[in-house]
Amino acid sequence: MTTVFIISAPSGSGKSTLVGHVRKTVPRLDFSISYTTRKPRGDEQNGKEYYFVSRPEFEGMIEQGAFLEYAAVFGKDYYGTAKRFLAAAEQQGHDLLLDIDVQGAEKIKLKLPDAVSIFILPPDRMELEKRLRHRSLDAEDVIQRRLFTAHGEIEKYEKYDYILVNDRLEDSVAALQAILIAERLKRSGIPSTAEDREVLAIAERYSLCNVRERVQPILASFAAPAVRGGC
Ligand code: ADP
Ligand code: 5GP
């Protein structure tokens, strides 16, 4: 049985970095490559990070019913999850990882209620801004739009099953791996070994009920106006 894992995060939180790690280390995990009308960024390649298509091509796919879900992200470009990735994962007996935004996650949860959703958070607003700038791939107006959108996205964190604050990268990679493996263990129904119980315990630390207090100061850092130096 295929488990669909949904990963969402405000842009710049480190989601692609984390997904890149688990794609290499977790077996039997397929990645859904989304279609988008946005232009490639940096050294992104067609068919690797995304399928980059024109607006008419994307609209043609909508008409053909090719998408499991699609959305206009940042009110500008279309992004969509093609149905064919789920069909291929099911055929292979693999799980499927979707890197999609909050609106997309809501649509998938309605269609596939057993999907597991994971929300990645930055440690605070200043760190998110730093990461967006450090990545140096977006124009200033794009960075500002992403920071503005982040606040609204973070407020939806309660809709997710797991919340992961991406502070130290090694810890976050280990946590994400534990969540994926723990969900497989839960679904397999096989009695767990001591090692399995350890993985389940690590994953549980990131479940929604256990992170509420950790999330409050992060939310507050986005609600407050950004403090800038100088006069
Ligand atoms: P997203 O996919 O969420 O938009 P990226 O994975 O592109 O974000 O990460 C944004 C920037 O932050 C990149 O330059 C990346 O190397 C960096 N980054 C990711 N995780 C961390 C972390 N834990 N600590 C510091 N920098 C990070
Ligand atoms: P970026 O332009 O930074 O690659 O992605 C912008 C946002 O679009 C991210 O939040 C990413 O998760 C989201 N996204 C990527 N693919 C899809 C998709 O197929 N559907 C939806 N709804 N969002 C997507």
What's the token pair of residue 99? 């890197």
What is the band of 18 on the pLDDT scale with cuts at 50, 70, 90? very high
pLDDT in the model for residue 7: 98
pLDDT in the model for residue 138: 73
pLDDT in the model for residue 224: 54
Inform me whether the pLDDT recorded for 11 exceeds 50. yes
Q: Nearest ligand to the C-alpha of residue 129?
A: 1
From the CB of 16, is ligand 1 less than 6 Å away?
Answer: yes
The residues near 5 (Cβ < 8 Å, ≥ 6 apart) are: 29, 95, 96, 97, 98, 115, 116, 117, 118, 180, 183
- Cα–Cα distance, 205 to 211 (Å, whole number): 7
Residue having the nearest C-alpha atom to atom 22 of ligand 1: 169
CA of 73 to the centre of ligand 2 (A): 7
Identify the residue with better confidence: 63 or 190: 63
Q: Cα separations (Å) of 106 from 69, 153, 210?
A: 10, 12, 22
pLDDT in the model for residue 116: 98
List the beta strands (DSSP E) in the chain: 4-8, 29-31, 34-36, 50-52, 67-73, 77-82, 95-99, 116-121, 162-165
Residue whose entry in the numeric block shows the structure tokens 């997710």: 160
3-state secondary structure of 168: coil
Residue 67 CB coordination number (10 Å)? 21
pLDDT in the model for residue 40: 93
Q: Report the candidate in 157, 169, 171, 174 with the shortest Cα–Cα distance to residue 212.
A: 157
Instruction: State the chain's mean pLDDT as an integer.
Output: 92
pLDDT in the model for residue 73: 81
Residue 90 CA from chain centroid, whole number? 21
Minimum mean pLDDT range among 34-38, 93-97, 140-144, 215-219: 140-144
Ligand 2 pocket test, candidate residues 97, 99, 102, 156, most atoms within 8 A of CB: 99
Residue having the nearest C-alpha atom to atom 15 of ligand 1: 14
Residue having the nearest C-alpha atom to atom 9 of ligand 2: 101
Find the mean pLDDT for residues 13-18.
Answer: 94
Inform me whether the pLDDT recorded for 84 exceeds 60. yes
pLDDT in the model for residue 231: 40
What's the token pair of residue 17? 């970095």
From the CB of 134, is ligand 1 less than 6 Å away?
Answer: yes
From the CB of 166, is ligand 1 less than 6 Å away?
Answer: yes
Predicted TM-score (pTM) above 0.85:
yes
- What residues line ligand 2, using a CB cutoff of 6 Å? 8, 11, 34, 38, 69, 71, 73, 79-81, 99-101, 103-104
Inform me whether the pLDDT recorded for 225 exceeds 90. no
- Cα–Cα distance, 56 to 161 (Å, whole number): 36
- Cα–Cα distance, 163 to 7 (Å, whole number): 10
Minimum mean pLDDT range among 4-13, 35-44, 68-77, 206-215: 68-77
CA of 194 to the centre of ligand 2 (A): 37
CA of 207 to the centre of ligand 1 (A): 22
pLDDT in the model for residue 191: 64
Residue having the nearest C-alpha atom to atom 3 of ligand 2: 11
Ligand 1 pocket test, candidate residues 131, 133, 154, most atoms within 8 A of CB: 131
Inform me whether the pLDDT recorded for 145 exceeds 90. no
Residues in the chain: 231
What is the band of 98 on the pLDDT scale with cuts at 50, 70, 90? very high
Q: Nearest ligand to the C-alpha of residue 66?
A: 2
